[in-house]
A and B are shown apart, each in its own frame.
Chain A
Amino acid sequence: MADVIVGGVFFIALGFAFRHIYYHFKSGSCSCGTETSETCSCGGSCPHCKV
């Protein structure tokens, strides 16, 4: 049981880390997300951080 809870939390955190890495490398050095959207202010409707 403890394994499931602790492991679950840990792997969710790890998932977020990988999600960040995915966006990070997809968009070069933009710290938050996309570079494709013209209106994005990071710019804009960045799907990752919603800036």
Chain B
Amino acid sequence: MSDISIALTGNPNTGKSTIFNQLTGARQKIGNWPGVTVDKKIGYLNYQGRNITVVDLPGTYSVSARSPEEAIVMDFLKNNKMDVVVDVLDSSNLERNLFLTLQLMEEGIPLLIDLNMQDEAKKRGLVVNKEKLSQILGMPVVETVGRRSDGVKTLLSVFTTEVMEKYHPSEMIQSHIENVKSINESGKSAEEIEEAIIDARYALINNIVSEVVTIDKRSVSVSETIDKYLANGILAPFLFLGIMYVVFLITFEWIGQPIADLVDELVAGPITEGATSFLEGVGVSEWLKAMIVDGAIAGVGAVLTFVPLIFILFFCLSFLDGTGYMARVAFVTDPVMRRVGLTGKGIMPMMMSFGCAVPAIMGARALDSEKDRLTAIMVTPFLTCGAKLPIMALFAAMFFPDNAANVVFLMYIIGVVMAIVAAKILGATVLKDEGSTFLLELPPYRIPDIKTVLLETWDKGKGYLIKAGTIIFAASVIVWFLANFNFSGQTEEMSESFLAGLGGIIAPLFYFHGFNTWEAGAAVINGILAKETVVSTMGILYGVAGEIDPDTAAEEAEIFLNSGMGAAFTSLSAFTFMVFSQLYTPCVTALGTIKKEAGGFKWMAFSAVYMFFLAWVVSLLVYQIGRLLGF
């Protein structure tokens, strides 16, 4: 029995990913399309002894190569001979969904039409005659309800029994294709041709819809009622803030933090102690033991503690995205975002970057214009990501024990304000002349498919796990080595180590900032590798184990205070250091993503340099004004 290859296409918000996840479950690989950072999802399954490969193409409204996603769909379908191409349609919104269908048929691609969300259409009083649709298009039509597996079963049996070759466009479609061809050859300008073709498509769609869709009854949609509060009223912005507050509570108080504490205990207790006693038991040398325990375990442990927080935050955001609420957030915040030189669509990447700037930068591709996209990419790294949080938590607990939570919150605010200021500055200088637009579908509210939310969370969060096992692991060992060795071998005093030398080179940069110590300099350098290492470097340098999490920060801060770190900073210089850490150059992983997403080394270098410079200036002002005010 031969294997079958399937591709899924369709508009955004049609439940295509849910169908994909129902089909393939966790047996999927997520990679990138060559040259771009658009997700490429491939899933595998076995049905009645046949191996089926499913490619989930990006959701698009058309395939006019107006965006990388659209280009990918067209290129893929033209260059790969798939056994079946499934076009997933939202049954309650055939009018717009059929646009893509027609466009694909014009390209001669035989389609299997999947009428998804039948339940929703029925609720809205719409009845779609699938036999008639099949007859008009000349293609097979299957009905599904995304979340229920019976529809997916039907799809699967069609995959294995139907032979797409026997389907041919109906006469109606063929005459449309002829019509499009003659428009293309009419010799008008490219613009006129495009518009004439769009008109022709919608004219045909109107005919099709009037034949296959009957309106049973008109009903007031639940979405409109919800929108009255969440999208339209004066309360909407406050409800948004409230919902975000709950997300942060879930992440940092209710669910995320308790799990993070468990991980922290596990690392600090059983793992560190277990490794120590094991290594002592088998009798390895002191240096090797120190490298593994103080270097690798301390460094990786510091990052692992934050992984639960990031997973929970991504879970919440994916869930909200699945409900359709995120589109309303963009809608409600657009007037404010526009004033600062962004668009409402930028709010989603901005919120992502409280977890991690990398998916935020990638998420910026949802923005319409090049200017909006670049602005979002350039300013999101100012925000407090999960990896900067330990820096803030540690310093706040050490130097502002009475106001720790407020100081951390203040850092979040400084990040947001800086992002806004930077967006303004960029809008007035580097990214001046390009217009900004906002065109967004507000899909009906839906209960998200939990499988899809979980897979999305895993997909976004696993990067952190991989990072902990690779970059952080390697960096921790390197930092440990640099901190304990110099040209004449292992050092007694860290102040004579390689790291002290390196830190000492850049320390003078911070002469007017009040933290021109080699330790701070070394931490700043390491922070570019990954922000988490600022804290683990301090830990290694001041000789305390590196795990800090906001909850136990108070106790650990005391250990740090007594370790000499307390003497190295005043409250003011500590605050200055926090501000600097909040704002300076993003980590290498984020820089790599910027290079890819913004399209070039130039933007990456620009972002590295301008953020360092702004951070330097702002923290300088903080320190000097603070001194004048007598802090």
Q: Which residues of A contact B (CB under 8 A)?
A: 2-3, 5-7, 10, 13-14, 16-18, 20-21, 24-25, 28-32, 35, 37-38, 40-44, 46, 51
B130 within 8 Å of A (CB atoms): no
CA of A13 to CA of B296, assembled, Å: 11
Interface locus among B31-39, B184-192, B579-587: B31-39
B358 within 8 A of A: yes
Q: Do residues B470 and A28 form an inter-chain contact, with CB atoms below 8 A? A: no
- Binary A-proximity of B159-198 (CB < 8 A = 1, otherwise 0): 0000000000000000000000000000000000000000
State A18–B588 Cα separation when bound (angstroms).
15
Q: Does B285 contact A (CB under 8 A)?
A: yes
B34, A38: Cβ atoms closer than 8 Å: yes
- Chain B residues with CB under 8 Å of A10's CB are 288, 291-292, 296
Q: How far is the CB of B380 from chain A (nearest CB, A)?
A: 15
Chain B positions 457 through 474: 1 when the CB is less than 8 Å from some CB of chain A, otherwise 0 = 000000100100111011
Q: Which of B32, B283, B463, B469 contacts A2 (CB 8 A)?
A: B283
* Residues in chain A near residue B283, CB distance under 8 A: 2
Whether A29 contacts B593 in the complex (CB less than 8 A), given A17-B469, A41-B42, comes out as yes
Give 5 A-B pairs besides A35-B34, A41-B42 with Cβ atoms closer than 8 angstroms. A6-B288, A10-B292, A14-B477, A28-B37, A30-B31
Contact A30 B292 (CB under 8 A): no
The reply to whether B31 and A43 form a contact with Cβ atoms under 8 Å apart is: yes
- Is B279 an interface residue when CB atoms closer than 8 A count as contact? yes
Query: Do A2 and B284 contact each other (CB < 8 Å), given the known contacts A10-B292, A29-B37?
Result: yes
CA distance A35 to B42 in the complex (A): 17
Partner of B470, one of A6, A21, A37, A43: A21
CA distance A15 to B36 in the complex (A): 28
Encode contact with A along B285-299: 1 for CB under 8 Å, 0 otherwise.
100100110001000
Query: In the complex, what's the smallest C-beta–C-beta distance from B341 to chain A, in angstroms?
Result: 25
Given known contacts A10-B288, A29-B358, A31-B466, A43 and B40 CB-to-CB distance under 8 angstroms: yes
**B286 vs chain A, min Cβ distance (A):** 10
Q: How far is the CA of A31 from the CA of B544 in the complex (A)?
A: 33
- 25 intermolecular pairs with C-beta atoms under 8 Å apart: A6-B288, A7-B288, A10-B288, A13-B473, A17-B469, A17-B470, A17-B474, A18-B474, A24-B592, A28-B37, A28-B595, A28-B596, A29-B37, A29-B589, A31-B32, A32-B31, A35-B32, A35-B34, A37-B34, A40-B34, A41-B29, A41-B40, A41-B42, A42-B32, A43-B40
**Docked complex: B554-602 residues within 8 A CB-CB of A:** 588-589, 592-593, 595-597
Q: Which residues of A sit under 8 angstroms from B30, Cβ to Cβ?
A: 31
CB-defined contacts of B470 to chain A, threshold 8 Å: 16-17, 20-21, 24
Contact A28 B466, CB 8 Å, known A42-B32, A43-B32, A43-B40: no
B1 in contact (CB, < 8 A): no
- Say yes or no: is B203 at the interface (Cβ < 8 Å to chain A): no
With beta carbons under 8 angstroms apart, the residue of B34, B292, B474, B592 that contacts A29 is B592
Residues of B within 8 A of A17 (CB): 469-471, 473-474
Residues of A within 8 A of B313 (CB): none
**Which chain B residues numbered 35 to 72 have a C-beta less than 8 Å away from chain A?**
35, 37, 40, 42
CA distance A20 to B593 in the complex (A): 16
Residues of A within 8 A of B473 (CB): 13-14, 17
Q: How far, in angstroms, from A39 to B37 measured CA to CA in the complex?
A: 16
Instruction: Given A29-B358, A43-B34, A51-B31, check contact A7 B284 (CB 8 Å).
Output: yes
> A28 and B592: CB pair below 8 A?
yes
The distance from the CB of A51 to the nearest CB of chain B, in whole angstroms, is 6
Number of A-B contacts (CB under 8 A): 85
* Contact B282–A2 (Cβ < 8 Å): yes
A28 touches B471 (CB 8 A): no
- CB of A48 to closest CB in B, whole Å: 11
Chain A residues closer than 8 Å to B463, beta-carbon distance: 31
Which residues of chain B from 273 to 328 have any CB-CB distance to chain A below 8 Å in the complex? 279, 282-285, 288, 291-292, 296
Cβ of B356 < 8 Å from any Cβ of A?
no
CB proximity of B464 to chain A, nearest CB, Å: 12
C-alpha gap A27/B232 in the complex (Å): 44
CB distance from A10 to the nearest CB of B (A): 6
B362 touches A (CB below 8 Å) = yes
In the assembly, what is the distance between CA of A45 and CA of B620, in Å?
50
Bound CA span A10–B284, Å: 12
**Closest Cβ–Cβ distance, residue A37 to chain B (whole Å):** 7
- Chain B residues near A29: list those with CB within 8 A: 32, 37, 358, 362, 589, 592-593, 596-597
In the assembled complex, the Cα of A24 lies from the Cα of B628 at a distance in Å of: 47
Q: What is the minimal beta-carbon distance from A39 to any residue of chain B, in angstroms? A: 9
Q: Please, which residue of chain B has its CB at the minimum distance from the CB of A34?
A: B34
Contacts of B292 in A (CB 8 A): 6, 10
Nearest Cβ in chain A — how far from B181, in angstroms? 30
Residue from the list A25, A37, A40 in contact with B588, Cβ < 8 A: A25
Q: Tell me the nearest residue of chain A to B34, going by C-beta.
A: A43
B282 contacts across to A, CB distance below 8 A: 2, 5-6
Q: Note all chain A residues with C-beta closer than 8 A to B285.
A: 3
- Shortest Cβ gap from A13 to chain B (Å): 8
Contact A28 B593 (CB under 8 A): yes
Interface string of B5-38 (1 = CB under 8 A from A): 0000000000000000000000001111111010
Do residues A42 and B31 form an inter-chain contact, with CB atoms below 8 A? Answer: yes
Nearest A-chain residue to B595, judged by Cβ: A28
